[in-house]
A and B are shown apart, each in its own frame.
Chain A
Amino acid sequence: MHLDHSHDSAMAVSADAARPDGTKRALRIGLGGPVGSGKTATVAALCRALREELSIAVVTNDIYTREDAEFLLRNAVLPPERIQAVETGACPHTAIRDDISANLEAVEDLEDAVGPLDLILVESGGDNLTATFSKGLVDAQVFVIDVAGGDDIPRKGGPGVTTADLLVVNKTDLAPYVGSDLGRMARDAKAQRGELPVAFTSLTAENGVKPVADWVRTQLAAWSA
């Protein structure tokens, strides 16, 4: 038995940058956040914004249905063969953090079936403020919250808000109606995250996903370099 043994036949292990055939795999970006904050809407908007320039696939982790996958299908943001749903046994955070095997299979199957791919978006099931992705599954992660969930969420922090590579504060158009102070959210986020970026989005606006799409392009440029 050799711990330094080369295990390159049949499958790669978790975050290996190369696929079994030696080619570089797609960049994997995870999107997590509380229920209803707009993860699926963000994924859909990203697909629409980027699908002309990039080869994209999506893995969804619905908690108990295929609704997120079906939302993406219904809105025809990608062809059905580019969307795969993973079941999570009532524990969405387990599937993206503690036991990532089903999600790894899904990303590998997508690369096999519709590759070569530039980008795979892995959308978590709606969860709590502590849910983060394993580095064995994704290369970078986005945490999506919204102004209607309470403008104290950035102050509360937690691993998602504090450590995600990009924090998205969505539904800014609703701020005046729910009494959320965007300035306060920005200050609190800055205090929790230091130099890590924050994007304020309103997906109902024309090209509202642009700050996130631009961030994805930057990640991809670094990955491909």
Chain B
Amino acid sequence: MDTSTPDPAAPGAARTALLVLADGRFPAGGHAHSGGAEAAVKAGRIRDATDLAAFCRGRLHTTGLTSAALAAAAAAGVDALALDEAADARTPSPALRATARKLGRQLMRAARATWPCDALDALAAARPRGAHQPVVLGVTARAAGLGPEDAAHCVAYETVGGPATAVVRLLGLDPFEATAVLARLAPELDQVARRAAGAAHRALAEGTGTLPAASAPLLDITAEAHAAWPVRLFAS
């Protein structure tokens, strides 16, 4: 019997799959990335938990929303290659495009080992150097029996969880405070995930052009500078 597919008829059947996929220990390379936090710490824009909260909120409502919608659309069944192009169009920084594809390739490896399926194989074959990470995440979520809103939640959470962990390492910030920042952002995360899932359903009917294209220019600019630093702890 194939036990890898959750029974979609059972409510909450895929909840554990969501936990596995959203877990920071899922081996998909995220631990080496700060989501722009390393550059913000160096520039003095993040010094404490209050700054971290502001940084995370800004990232969540900009690149977070855009990425979550791409992931939700992939989970809803929108063509992954069209979404990969849409992701390129929404990522003006070459450094961040490279990062997204690198992380997408790393996620693809973990996903094919954990939820093997033809859709992941097809995307890996079409983009051997990596598709954008949110697109891979959406296809992975679908393979795991998860829905668009689940995929959006994963991406939204990662958008803020990555910087929070990085700031704990970079500043020695109290880990309880950093986690409290994430907990207080939870209602906004839920809201962003719902918006992203709504946009994904619209994209299913009207195409990828309708997906959100919110961006954070300062994150784009500092990502370019960070990529050229000779000494850094995080890859991005």
Report 17 cross-chain contacts, Cβ distance below 8 Å, ordered by A residue.
Answer: A1-B116, A2-B116, A11-B108, A11-B124, A13-B109, A63-B233, A87-B32, A87-B232, A89-B33, A90-B169, A91-B31, A98-B25, A98-B27, A99-B30, A101-B106, A102-B235, A104-B109
Name the one of A63, A64, A89 contacting B34, with C-beta atoms under 8 angstroms: A89
Q: Which residues in B have their C-beta under 8 angstroms from that of A181? A: none
Q: Are A102 and B109 in contact (CB under 8 A)?
A: no
Please list the residues of chain A having a beta carbon within 8 angstroms of any beta carbon in chain B. Answer: 1-3, 5, 7, 9-11, 13-14, 63-66, 86-91, 94-95, 98-102, 104-105
Interface of A is mostly: loop
Q: Contact: A1 with B231, CB < 8 Å? A: no
Complex Cα–Cα for A89 and B4 (A): 32
With both chains docked as a complex, state the minimum distance between the C-beta of B153 and any C-beta of chain A, in angstroms: 21
* Interface pair A64/B231, CB less than 8 Å apart: yes
Q: For A99, list chain B residues within 8 Å (CB).
A: 25, 27-31
User: Interface on B for A, CB 8 Å cutoff?
Assistant: 2, 4-5, 25, 27-34, 102, 105-106, 108-110, 112-113, 115-117, 121, 124-125, 128, 143, 166, 169-170, 230-235
Complex contacts, B169 vs chain A, CB 8 Å: 89-91
Are B32 and A10 neighbours in the complex by a CB distance under 8 Å? no
Could you say which of B25, B31, B102 has the most chain A C-beta atoms within 10 Å of its C-beta?
B31
A89 lies within 8 A of B28 (CB): no
Cβ contact within 8 Å between B32 and A13: no
Q: Are B230 and A101 in contact (CB under 8 A)?
A: no
